[in-house]
Structure 1
Amino acid sequence: MIEQASPAGIRLQGVSAVMQDRNRGEIVAVRNVDLQVEPGELLTLLGPSGCGKTTTLRMIAGFQEPSGGRIFIAGRDVTHVPANARDIGFVFQNYALFPHLTIFGNVAYGLEVRQWSTADIRRAVDEVLELVGLAGFGERLPNELSGGQQQRVALARAIVIRPRVLLFDEPLSNLDAKLRVSMRGEIRHLQQTLKITTVYVTHDQEEAMAISDRIAVMEAGKIAQLDTAEALYRRPTSAFVAGFVGRANLLHATVRSVADGVATLDVGGEMLLMPADGVPASGSAVNVVIRPESIAIGKSGQGPAAVVQARTYLGDKIEYEVAFGGQILTVVRFNPAGDEAVLPGSVVSLDIPAANIRLVAADD
């Protein structure tokens, strides 16, 4: 087994990235970000294109200097330290393999630069190729391997140098859906085996939820929310986070009353009940999030009324679009085999448990 160096924590303190564009002027890619990555943790930067996640990763790596703030790795200020002196491994989106070198040569390259002995290089490369499932592939060229195998080579090259920090920039985006699921499991297993501090960038929320200890959801160069996958899904703090991490219904409502620990919300004349914690005074306009799977459709007259607008059968589930209080909700019913079909035009009642209604801040 590779003798891994002790994991290093990462700290970003007020880090910003400002760029100048000839036509658009000043562009702020990252805005005053504070972030702590614990030793041995896998933290994912998640967000849409242009939110600043890759720029943040590049600043951690040393490929781009921040315009402001400081970056620490293992307590050492590396803000102005070049990438090759930061003790990191980096896995690129496009693999960045040398096409003229064998798989062995690609993986050995970093060790040769560090002037390891031939025997130690041979031992380390053979060991890491076995670790990533490529034992016996050393004499092949990159173009003789599949996309998934090339990604394993890129991963082997990053970890063979025994870095204290491992960075991934959208590493699975070039793979098909089935292979992505397989590879993300392998990456997570390897990270846990080596106990290496890892920062992972992706725009795929399912991928982030599957592999991460914590997720930093980024929006417009800032961290909108940092938490575990479960907390982000169950307790989003903004409409943006709720909509980006999973699917969500965002409703605009008015607080009708708050009494005895229960808040009554008015949604276009229909009433919803939710826990009163954090709900403002009567008359306040609020935004609430309800996950599609938290809503059940029942017979008319048993709860708040809605009208089915569309029905989509997807095998393991049925998705409905329903009009409720002047707004449209998505409702998901899983395992629908044998259920009576609820057709468009049907008047139904919605069963929405109070605990599944979440108050969120509106987007700016």
Structure 2
Amino acid sequence: MIERSEPVGILLQAVSAVMQDRNRGEIVAVRNVDLEVEPGELLTLLGPSGCGKTTTLRMIAGFQEPSGGRILIAGRDVTHVPANQRDIGFVFQNYALFPHLTIYGNVAYGLEARRWPSADISRAVDEVLELVGLAGFGERLPNELSGGQQQRVALARAIVIRPRVLLFDEPLSNLDAKLRISMRGEIRELQQRLKITTVYVTHDQEEAMAISDRIAVMEGGRIAQLGTAQALYRRPASAFVAGFIGRANLLRATVRGVADGVATLDVQGETLTMPADGVPAAGSAVRVVVRPESIALARSNTAAAVVQSCSWLGDKIEYEVTFAGQTLNVVCFAPTEHETMSPGTAVSVAIPPAAIRLVAAED
């Protein structure tokens, strides 16, 4: 069996990455990032292209030195330690398999570089190939395997060296949608079984929510918010996070008043109420965050809201509704035929107070 060492933590202290571009001058890719990855945790760096997530991963791996700050693994300062001395396994986006080597040769490569005895290498490779569901594939070449199978080879090569840290750079982006769902489950199951501290990079919010213990949402080289998928979804700290984790309606509003534990909001002439905790003073401009599935619609001859579009998707209906001069996205799950409201239908909009979150207007 693959030996499990005690899980280790990763600590980033004020880590930055500044690069020089001939045309654009100085580019700050990562800005003073502080981050602690707990031992045995799977933490995902999530964000759009250019947010700094891959650069951060490369600095943890040792492929790029920080311009400032420190990186510690298991309490050891590895900021200037070469990648091959950091005890990490890395799974690349394009798999990076050697096309001229068999699957056995690809997986064995790291062990051969470490000068393991041949018998131990053979035993370890057979074991890890069985672990990733590729027993009996050792003599095949990479081009004889499907994309999902090649991904499993890349994963086997990363874990066969028994790393203390496992790093993934968008590992599923080259797979089709159905296979991505299957592979992310396999990665999560294997990580939990081996208890390897893991940092995972993706731009796919659903992928991040499905596999992560915690997610660090990155924006502009900084961590915009760190937390569990549930916390980020239910309590986003900014309009950016609300829009990046799941779907969200962001409505312009003004705080009308707070009394008896209830806050009243003016949304372009329409009134919403919510719990008063954390609501700023009357007159403050805010953004209202409401998830599409929290909104209820009902036909109404007198309502000011109007259905603009309707998409029937089998298990749900997605609506676009004009409300208070703004567009609301609404999702109705398990719809019945008589519930469907066609474009042009006048509707009332009901938003439960507990479903409303506020973020700063300038976001």
Q: Give the TM-score of the pair, scaled to structure 2.
A: 0.98
Q: SS in structure 1 opposite 2:340?
A: coil
Q: Show the counterpart of 1:274.
A: 274
Tell me if the contact between 1:88 and 1:167 (Cα under 8 Å) persists in the aligned partners.
yes
Q: SS in structure 2 opposite 1:187?
A: helix
Tell me if the contact between 1:240 and 1:363 (Cα under 8 Å) persists in the aligned partners.
no
How much does 1:283 deviate?
1.1
Distance (Å, rounded) in 2 between the aligned partners of 1:297 and 1:305: 12
**Where in structure 2 are the equivalents of 1:104-183 lying within 5 Å?**
104-183=104-183
How much does 1:362 deviate?
4.0
Distance (Å, rounded) in 2 between the aligned partners of 1:258 and 1:204: 38
Q: SS in structure 2 opposite 1:48?
A: coil
Q: Show the counterpart of 1:26.
A: 26
Report the residue type matching 1:70 in the other structure.
Answer: R
Report the residue type matching 1:357 in the other structure.
Answer: I
Q: Show the counterpart of 1:314.
A: 313
**Where in structure 2 are the equivalents of 1:51-70 lying within 5 Å?**
51-70=51-70
Distance (Å, rounded) in 1 between the aligned partners of 2:77 and 2:157: 26
Q: Deviations over 1:91-112 (max 9, x none)?
A: 0000000011110000000000
How much does 1:7 deviate?
1.3
Q: 1:363 to 1:119 in 2, by over 3 A?
A: farther
Q: Show the counterpart of 1:330.
A: 329
Report the residue type matching 1:290 in the other structure.
Answer: V
Q: 1:362 to 1:165 in 2, by over 3 A?
A: farther
Q: 1:363 to 1:139 in 2, by over 3 A?
A: farther
Distance (Å, rounded) in 1 between the aligned partners of 2:4 and 2:90: 16
Is 2:211 the counterpart of 1:190? no
Is 2:9 the counterpart of 1:3? no
Report the residue type matching 2:258 in the other structure.
Answer: V
How much does 1:301 deviate?
7.3
Report the residue type matching 2:358 in the other structure.
Answer: L
Is 2:329 the counterpart of 1:348? no
Q: 1:224 to 1:363 in 2, by over 3 A?
A: farther
Is 2:220 the counterpart of 1:229? no
Distance (Å, rounded) in 2 between the aligned partners of 1:300 and 1:264: 23
Q: SS in structure 1 opposite 2:107?
A: helix
Tell me if the contact between 1:91 and 1:169 (Cα under 8 Å) persists in the aligned partners.
yes
Q: SS in structure 2 opposite 1:193?
A: helix
**Where in structure 2 are the equivalents of 1:300-311 lying within 5 Å?**
300=300, 305-311=304-310
Distance (Å, rounded) in 1 between the aligned partners of 2:333 and 2:37: 37
How much does 1:316 deviate?
1.3
Q: 1:125 to 1:362 in 2, by over 3 A?
A: farther
Q: SS in structure 1 opposite 2:154?
A: helix
Distance (Å, rounded) in 2 between the aligned partners of 1:355 and 1:220: 31
Q: SS in structure 2 opposite 1:115?
A: coil
Distance (Å, rounded) in 2 between the aligned partners of 1:331 and 1:91: 38
User: Percent of aligned pairs with the same residue?
Assistant: 83
Distance (Å, rounded) in 2 between the aligned partners of 1:247 and 1:176: 22
User: How many residues are treated as equivalent by the alignment?
Assistant: 363
How much does 1:299 deviate?
3.2
Q: Show the counterpart of 1:220.
A: 220
Q: SS in structure 1 opposite 2:358?
A: strand
Distance (Å, rounded) in 2 between the aligned partners of 1:238 and 1:361: 7
Q: Show the counterpart of 1:93.
A: 93
Tell me if the contact between 1:4 and 1:163 (Cα under 8 Å) persists in the aligned partners.
no
Distance (Å, rounded) in 1 between the aligned partners of 2:362 and 2:172: 30
Q: 342-351 or 95-104: which moved more?
A: 342-351
Q: Give the TM-score of the pair, scaled to structure 1.
A: 0.98
Q: SS in structure 1 opposite 2:57?
A: helix
Tell me if the contact between 1:93 and 1:170 (Cα under 8 Å) persists in the aligned partners.
yes
Q: 1:122 to 1:362 in 2, by over 3 A?
A: farther
Q: SS in structure 1 opposite 2:243?
A: helix
Report the residue type matching 1:348 in the other structure.
Answer: V
Report the residue type matching 1:269 in the other structure.
Answer: G
Is 2:48 the counterpart of 1:17? no
